[in-house]
Amino acid sequence: MKKKILVTGGAGYIGSHTVVELFLSGYQPIIVDNMCNTSERNIIGINNLLKTTIPFHNIDCTDLDQMNIFFENHKDIHAVIHFAAYKSVGESIENPEKYYKNNIGSTEVLLKCLEKQKLKNLIFSSSCTVYGMPDKLPVNEGSPFKRAESPYGETKQKCEVLIKDNACNSVSLRYFNPIGSHDSGLIGDCSSDNASNLVPIVAEVAFGIRERLIVNGNDYDTHDGTCIRDYIHVQDLALAHVRALDYLLAKEGKYIFNVGTGNGLSVLDIVNTFEQVNNLKVNYVIGPRREGDIEKIYSDGSLIKNILGWEAMRSTKDALISAWKWQNSKML
């Protein structure tokens, strides 16, 4: 029988792609999501893509009573992959309490449920934001936590500490900047709020939904003055969760891995490549720096490659082609 894996936030951007890869890898994912920042489109897309019906439960992961009921009815779950969290750095600065309550609260509830059910295996969706402004690049897993540049980053730091202090076996995946969508065009970022990440905004400008992209600062100490990030294709990222799960089920313990490409690209590198691979122009202007942004960060991916045998396989060009495909499919 297939091992059952609970995926909280499984209808979201990264969660939906991970659900697909779990199923294709022989697991039986079960989605719990309150749909507050995604859409039924991803649920439909997952089922159409896999030609099956993935179990789905509309539950708020901060609701301890509802989560306890779920686990009482699903005592044969082998592991949990926890994505359920808000993810906008900018919004977290404007409304920090929303992020503390949801991101930390859902993790606290989940850990209580795991302890009650004596369920030991947890994969946590962490972030490179836990490193703050790193002193040394590329950043590796031994780099200390610095002051978080946003409440979002702070929630990821605090959740990692909660998990470290819990008795469960765990893998925290600190990933960098996910971009792109599934090759099929059936699932992607269905966030119900306004796009706040670079690539979705670029795609909306190219499509004509937005008039222009505002590049937040061009006076950083980088090759073109704009911020540098490590952009990873979401399908590669989804596969990293499956590899982490395989490893955790075979070898108990607590593990932390960076998930990135190891290659730093600037905002304008992304804009220029998007224009090139999709044969179009993106209207942009230079604006002021944005609170919460760090100058540059990219990963040292040697640990995850050596331990899990995972490395990014898809290119930035692949990701930007798929992002444009998803933008067009959303408008059909």
Residue 13: name the closest of 234, 199, 321 by CA.
Answer: 234
Average pLDDT over residues 211-217: 97
Q: Give the predicted TM-score (pTM) of the model.
A: 0.97
Average pLDDT over residues 230-242: 98
CATH number of residue 129's parent domain: 3.40.50.720
What's the one-letter identity of residue 307? I
Q: Please indicate whether residue 152 is annotated as part of the active site.
A: yes
What is residue 129's DSSP assignment?
A: G
At residue 171, the pLDDT reads: 98
Residue range of the domain that includes 247: 4-188+233-260+299-313
At residue 332, the pLDDT reads: 73
| pLDDT confidence tier of residue 291, bands split at 50, 70 and 90 | confident
| pLDDT confidence tier of residue 192, bands split at 50, 70 and 90 | confident
Judge whether 198 lies within some domain: no
Average pLDDT over residues 311-324: 97
Q: How many domains does the chain have?
A: 1
Mind listing the pLDDT tens digit for each residue in 16-44? 999 999 999 999 999 999 999 999 999 99
Mind listing the pLDDT tens digit for each residue in 264-287? 999 999 999 999 999 999 999 999
Catalytic residue among 86, 99, 131, 152: 152
- Report the run of H or E that residue 229 belongs to, with start and end: strand 228-229
**Is pLDDT above 90 for 182?**
yes
At residue 194, the pLDDT reads: 74
At residue 260, the pLDDT reads: 98
**Is pLDDT above 80 for 331?**
no
Mean pLDDT in the chain?
96
Residue 272: name the closest of 290, 260, 264, 284 by CA.
Answer: 284
At residue 311, the pLDDT reads: 97
Mind listing the pLDDT tens digit for each residue in 42-99? 999 999 999 999 999 999 999 999 999 999 999 999 999 999 999 988 899 999 999 9
| Paired tokens of 280 | 């179009």
Which CA distances in Å does 262 have to 23, 97, 197, 215, 312? 28, 33, 20, 23, 9
Assess contact for 93 and 150: CB atoms under 8 A. Answer: yes
Judge whether 24 lies within some domain: yes
Judge whether 82 lies within some domain: yes
At residue 310, the pLDDT reads: 98
| pLDDT confidence tier of residue 292, bands split at 50, 70 and 90 | confident
Q: Coil, strand, or helix at residue 226? A: coil
Which CA distances in Å does 169 have to 64, 122, 166, 234, 302? 21, 6, 8, 25, 22
Mind listing the pLDDT tens digit for each residue in 241-262? 999 999 999 999 999 999 999 9
291 vs 236, residue with greater confidence:
236
Mind listing the pLDDT tens digit for each residue in 84-138? 999 988 899 999 999 999 999 999 999 999 999 999 999 999 999 999 999 999 9
Judge whether 248 lies within some domain: yes
Judge whether 285 lies within some domain: no
